[in-house]
Structure 1
Amino acid sequence: MKVRTLALGVLASVLMPATAQAEAVVLKVAHFLPPASPAHTKFIVPWCERIKAESKGGLECQIYPAMQLGGTPPQLLTQVRDGVADVVWTLPGYTAGRFPVSEVFELPFITTGREASSRALWDFSQSRASQEFAGMKPIATWVTGPYALHLRDHDVSTLEGLAGLKVRAPSRLGTKLLAALGATPVGMPVPQMAESLSKRVIDGALLPWEVLPATKVHELTRFHVEVSGDRALLAATMIFVMNEKKYDSLPIDLKKVIDANSGRETSAWVSAQFVEPDEDGRKRAQERGNAVRALAADEVAKWQAAAGPVTAGWVEEITAKGMDGRSLHEEARALIDKYSK
């Protein structure tokens, strides 16, 4: 009996480490939008399903939408750096000044198609802005679809029509752009827009079409202005990043799964997931009878000219910080052009 008991004990001690090793690593994934949002359903959930399948269950996600881990959207970067969350999706524009170099992709009239521009952003971030991701492992970096203006009561068809309108700005450069166009910018994260529109705190918002259904902005506005042409009026950069220490703690096989689902092509894939939601947002606005206006080419030229000082100002700011702002701007644009061919 003693021999049998001893044998069972030895067997148990041998099996326990294997059992513990087989337990899945659960990643806490946080973001700021509701679970019905395209970001949640179109890319975060599929990405989590992919890493689970490729790791044969070694990696799993516990997703926390709508800031369920607490805090506000601008605090997501701090949460992932501090390990409150293991992975977050967020906008660098919510934390002005923390991504000064890669911010070049948020300048007006610089981005083209979303997939091409997202590939360019990944390359640029890796080569020229890697220091901005200290404490984080980038999984994907991409740009949104073109921003449009969504207005409560004003059917704007000219630059002059924006004068004095209070418009939600998505970022530091978005604020500068709106001011250059004659509007009164009001900075706020996406979750605050609906209430601000409802209470007439703002007259409209600058954002991509895909955001409208999840935030009900199409129900609170009646007029929409698109800026046509090869270059977007504005686009925001977005990042999907992992706590660096969490990544470093993974065994080699699980690191390989994360690596295989990170990078330039993952960035392009993520950006592509928002094409259909953009089209859906535009369609829903039209189904409500809202007016969608595309600016004429000569009018777009006026908006481009008015936005010129925003780019010039960015170049001066970066140069004053000891970097070659003109060179960075030219390199970013060249990468965008390279992938747009």
Structure 2
Amino acid sequence: MTTLKYFPADELTAFATRIFTGTGMTDADAAVIARDLVKANLRGIDSHGVSRIPMYVERLQRGLVNPRPNVGVEKVAGAVSIVDGDNGMGFIASHKAMDEAVSLASQNGIGLVGVHRSTHFGMGALYALQAIEAGYISMIFTNSSPAIPMWGGRTTFLGASPIAAGIPGGKHAPYVMDMAMTVIARGKIRLAAMKGEAIPEGLALDIEGNPTTDAAKAFEGVCLPFGGVKGSVLATLMDLMSGVLTGANFGGDVKSLYFDHSEPQNVGHLFFAIKPDLFMSLENFEARMDEYYERIKALPAAAGVTEIMMPGEPEQRREEERLKTGVPITANVVSDLTNEGERFGIALPQGRSEGEVS
């Protein structure tokens, strides 16, 4: 049984902020990344949360990530801009890109922003939620380091390359989608490997191309695309649109976060922002979203299902719960964070044991 400790989100955020400031980042940028990582934990996407701090810190300290990037924005067409991430943390370039996409959409109805010379940008839903908060529909594409084969191949070529999207709701929960092109997010396999847990069959192959349930072997090997050829085709689209189109690395050239310390990643992203009232009034759009939500809730549930939810609603509820109980962190991640904090002279908050959480 995995031992958990629970940490208040604000204390965990403050700890992470100090860690990133210790790498030479500005206070403002460090706070953004800390909030984003804890946000992932709050929503239950623990694979993209604070467990990644040691890996990010290592890349910063190796000089593979620029702690103080000069993120540039250049308008290239009426509703289109390109962002140069200057090899900084992908979170910073991506928030700036979504801000630019929203600004362009406010003027033109739609905004499109490409990003190159970026790095891993964390949980894709961060940017869908950012657009929703501004009142805009969004789609987010990214490529990533090789994780899955091209359909018919046996070696990694395509990234897990998630797609995310958000649509504001009316009085009910918005639509929020964030999914990788793998059967399971590669970060979740990494987390299982860190815990020493097995993974189900059908998720990955080992380095020799054999099916495996060993998470450590799977992480070193090949993840499988969801839906077979369909997942592979979608991952190809993400690579073409995020990598080829934007001027970033593509076709297997994005450097691995974990195994390749030879040079910066040069990840590419693509952000779309769309005004929700292009074809009708905002009031009418919101009413239609509410009606859609209510129709979902009225659908007959399958056996064993107590409630049908809008995509993103389970994560929203989990966030509300974890804001009360604290963020659950496994013992091995607690150990990693404690060690990371000691390197910078920063104490990890004490947290509470499972028995102390009501």
TM range (shorter): under 0.3
**The structure with more radius of gyration:** 1
Q: TM-score normalized by structure 2?
A: 0.24
**Larger helix proportion, structure 1 or 2?**
1
